[in-house]
Structure 1
Amino acid sequence: MIRSLSLLILLGFIWGSGYSIARYAMTHGVAPLGYAFWQSLGPAVALVILTMRQWQGKLLSVLRFWPYFLITGVLGIFMPNTNMYFASPHLPAGMLAVIVNIVPLMVYPLALLFKEEKFDGLRITGVLCGVLGIMIIMLPKSGLLGGAFNSWMFMALLTPLCFALCVIYIAKYRPIHLDALMCSAGMLTASAMLLIPVVHWTGSFYALHMPLHKVDWIILLEIALSSTGYVLLFKLIKMAGPVYYSLVSGVVTLTGLFWGKVIFGESLTPHMIFAVLFILTAITLVTIRRRASLVIE
C-alpha cells in the first residue's frame, strides 16, 4: 500500500509539473507544434528501446495494428497535447492542470453513451459537481476570465475531451495481443510521425542548440519526466489497478497549482478555491465509486 501510494504521488508530481514546464517553453520562444513534436518523439524513442526485446520477431504482426496506433496517437497525444500547448501561454499553469484533469468526469458520460458503464447516481452527481466547478471558473465575477480568456478556456476543454474519447476507444478496441508498454510506444510513435509533416509545413520545428540553452534543458527535462512517467504508469497499474491510478488526477491538479504559484506567482482567488474543491470532489466521487464497484465484482 505504501509503495503504491508513493508511486501515485510521484507520478502525479511528475505529470503535474508538465503544465508549468510547457508554459515556460511556450513563453520562451518554442512553438506549440515544435514542443509537441519533441514530447512525442522523446518518450516514443525511450519506450521503443524499453520494449525492443518484445518487438523482436513480432514487428510485422505488431504493424498490422497501425490503425489502432494511429487513432490512439491522434486522440491521446497529437490533438490533446498540441491543443494544450497552444492554450498554455494564455491560461495560468495551475488552472490548466485543473482543466485537463477533469478527464474522469468526461469519461463516465461517454461510457454511458457507448454502453460501457451502467448508470450510477453518485457518479452522475460527481459529474454535475465537476460541471459546477468549471462554471464557477468561467463566471465573469470570478475575475479569472475575460473575453479572450474565456475562448482559451473553451479551447482547453478540448484536451480532456480528446483524452476521454481515447480512453473509451482503448477500452473497446485495444488489441489483446499487445501489452500497455507496446501500445504506448506505438501510440507515441504514430503521434511523432504525424507531427513531422505538420511541423515542417508550418515551420514550427524547434532545433536544440549546442551548447544547450536554458529552454533546451527544459525540453529535455520534460522528455525525461514524460518517459519516466510512462514507466511508472504501467508499474502502478500492474501493482494497484487502473482505478487506483485514476486517483492520480487529484495529485496532478494539486501539483500543477503548486508550481503555478512557485514559478509564475499565480494566486488562488476565493472563486478558484471553490472551483478546485468542486472539481476535486467530483473526481473523487467518480473514481472512488468505480473502485468500489470493481472490488465488489
Structure 2
Amino acid sequence: MIWNTLRFLFPWFLILGMGVAWGLSFSLAKVAVNHGTAPLTLTVWQSIIAGILLLVLMFLRKIRLPFSKNLLWLCLVIAICGFIIPGVSLYYAAPHVQAGVLSITVTLVPILTYAISIPFGFEKPEFKRILGLVFGTLAILLIVIPENSLPEPEAVPWILLSCLGSAFYSLEGIVIATKMPEKLNPIGVACIGNFLAVIFLLPLLYGSGQQMSLNWPPDTAGLAIFGISFISAIAYTLYIYVIKITGPLFASQSAYVVTLAGVFWGMAIFEEEHSVWVWASLLSMMAGLALVTPRRKSAELSSSVGLGLENKNSS
C-alpha cells in the first residue's frame, strides 16, 4: 500500500524539483544577459558545461549508448527542439521581459502537447482537461492583451518569441515519448543532445560576431551561466526520464511548477512587481493545472505511449 503510494507520488516529486530549479533559470538568464553575455554565447556555454557534467555522470555510472542512426536522429531532435531554439529564444527575450512573466510562457507546453497528442491517439479528448488547457491559454492572453498588464508594452513581441521555444518543447516531448527506446538512458541522450547543439551553434556564434570567451575566475555573469548549465543538465535529464515513465502530457505539466517558481524567483531576486493581470494569469494557470492533470489511471496508461506507437507501426 505504502509502496504503491510512493510509486504514484514519485513522478510528482520529480516534477516539483525540476520545476523549482527550472523556474530559477529565468532569473539567472536575466542576470547573465544584463551583465553583458550575448544570447548565443550563453546558449553555447550552457550546452558545453551541461554536456560535460552529463559526460562525467555517464562515466561514473558506466553508461553506454548503442550507436545507431535512430539514436543520432533522436539526439538531433533534442538538440534543436530542446536546447537550441528554446535557449536562443529565451536569452534574446530575457533583457526585455520580467523573469516572472517570462516563465509564464511555458504554459504553452502542456497546451500544445495535449493538442498534438489527441489527433495521434496518445490522449483522448476530455472536457475537464480541455477546459484546463483553456485556462492555460487564458493565462497567456491576460498578459499579452491588456495594455497595462506589463511595465513595458514593447515586451509583447519578446514574450511571443519566448512562446516559440515552448512550442518546440512540446514537439520534442512527443518525439521522445514515441521514438525513444525504453532502455535508452536519458542521461546519455541529453549529453549527446547538448554537444550536437554546440556543433550547430558555433558557426552561428562566430557568424554573428558574438564573443565566445568568458571571464575567469567567473564573474556574476559566469556564475549565472554555470547555474543555468547545472539546472539544464539535471532538470532536463529528469524531464526526459519523467516523459519515459509517465508520457509527454504528464511531464509537460512541470511547466506550471516552473511558472509559479519563476514568478517568485523574479520577485526574490529582482524585486519584480506585477500587475493584477499577471496575478490573474497566475491563478488561471493554477486552475488549468488542477483541471488538465491526468487521472492516476490515465497517467499510468500514458507511459505506454511509445510502445503503442511501435505496435501501430508494426501492424
The answer as to 2:31 corresponding to 1:13 is no
Q: Distance in 1 between matches of 2:286 and 2:108?
A: 9
**Residue 172 (structure 1) shift:** 2.3
Q: Distance in 2 between matches of 1:182 and 1:114?
A: 28
- Residues 89-147 of structure 1 deviation map (CA, whole Å, 9 limit, x = unaligned): 11110011111243111100011233332222111111111111211111234431755
Partner of 1:117: 123
**CA separation of 1:234 and 1:149: change in aligned 2, threshold 3 A:** closer
**Could you say what secondary structure the match of 1:65 adopts?**
helix
Contact 1:105 1:282 (C-alpha < 8 Å) held by counterparts: no
**CA separation of 1:117 and 1:181: change in aligned 2, threshold 3 A:** same
Partner of 2:39: 32
The answer as to 2:299 corresponding to 1:294 is yes
**CA separation of 1:182 and 1:106: change in aligned 2, threshold 3 A:** same
The answer as to 2:137 corresponding to 1:128 is no
Q: Distance in 2 between matches of 1:112 and 1:9?
A: 26
Contact 1:137 1:271 (C-alpha < 8 Å) held by counterparts: yes
**Residue 274 (structure 1) shift:** 0.8
**Could you say what secondary structure the match of 1:118 adopts?**
coil
Partner of 2:277: 271
The answer as to 2:52 corresponding to 1:45 is yes
**CA separation of 1:173 and 1:157: change in aligned 2, threshold 3 A:** same
From 63, 81, 104, the equivalent of 1:54 is: 63
**CA separation of 1:211 and 1:50: change in aligned 2, threshold 3 A:** closer
From 95, 108, 117, the equivalent of 1:89 is: 95
Contact 1:102 1:283 (C-alpha < 8 Å) held by counterparts: no
Q: Which runs of 4+ in 1 moved over 6 A?
A: 234-238
Contact 1:105 1:283 (C-alpha < 8 Å) held by counterparts: no
State the AA in 1 paired with 2:291: L
Unaligned runs of 5+ in 2: 1-5, 303-315
Q: Distance in 1 between matches of 2:241 and 2:162?
A: 29
Q: Distance in 2 between matches of 1:51 and 1:4?
A: 22
State the AA in 1 paired with 2:40: L
Contact 1:122 1:289 (C-alpha < 8 Å) held by counterparts: no
- Residues 4-46 of structure 1 deviation map (CA, whole Å, 9 limit, x = unaligned): 6655443222111100000111111000010011111111111
Contact 2:111 2:136 (C-alpha < 8 Å) held by counterparts: yes
Q: Distance in 1 between matches of 2:85 and 2:123?
A: 25
The answer as to 2:218 corresponding to 1:191 is no
**CA separation of 1:106 and 1:182: change in aligned 2, threshold 3 A:** same
**Could you say what secondary structure the match of 1:193 adopts?**
helix
Q: Distance in 2 between matches of 1:25 and 1:185?
A: 23
Partner of 2:173: 167
CA RMSD of aligned residues (A): 2.6
Q: Distance in 1 between matches of 2:124 and 2:81?
A: 24
Q: Distance in 1 between matches of 2:34 and 2:267?
A: 17
Contact 2:20 2:261 (C-alpha < 8 Å) held by counterparts: yes
**CA separation of 1:211 and 1:296: change in aligned 2, threshold 3 A:** closer
Contact 2:173 2:243 (C-alpha < 8 Å) held by counterparts: no
**Could you say what secondary structure the match of 1:119 adopts?**
coil
Contact 1:13 1:251 (C-alpha < 8 Å) held by counterparts: yes
Identity %: 27
**CA separation of 1:119 and 1:170: change in aligned 2, threshold 3 A:** same
**CA separation of 1:110 and 1:229: change in aligned 2, threshold 3 A:** same
**Could you say what secondary structure the match of 2:218 adopts?**
coil
**CA separation of 1:150 and 1:210: change in aligned 2, threshold 3 A:** closer
Q: Which moved more, 1:159-168 or 1:190-199?
A: 190-199
Contact 2:35 2:220 (C-alpha < 8 Å) held by counterparts: no
From 65, 69, 73, the equivalent of 2:79 is: 73
Q: Distance in 2 between matches of 1:5 and 1:149?
A: 33
Contact 1:236 1:245 (C-alpha < 8 Å) held by counterparts: yes
Partner of 1:157: 163
**Could you say what secondary structure the match of 1:140 adopts?**
coil
Give the number of aligned pairs. Answer: 292
**CA separation of 1:51 and 1:17: change in aligned 2, threshold 3 A:** same
Unaligned runs of 5+ in 1: none
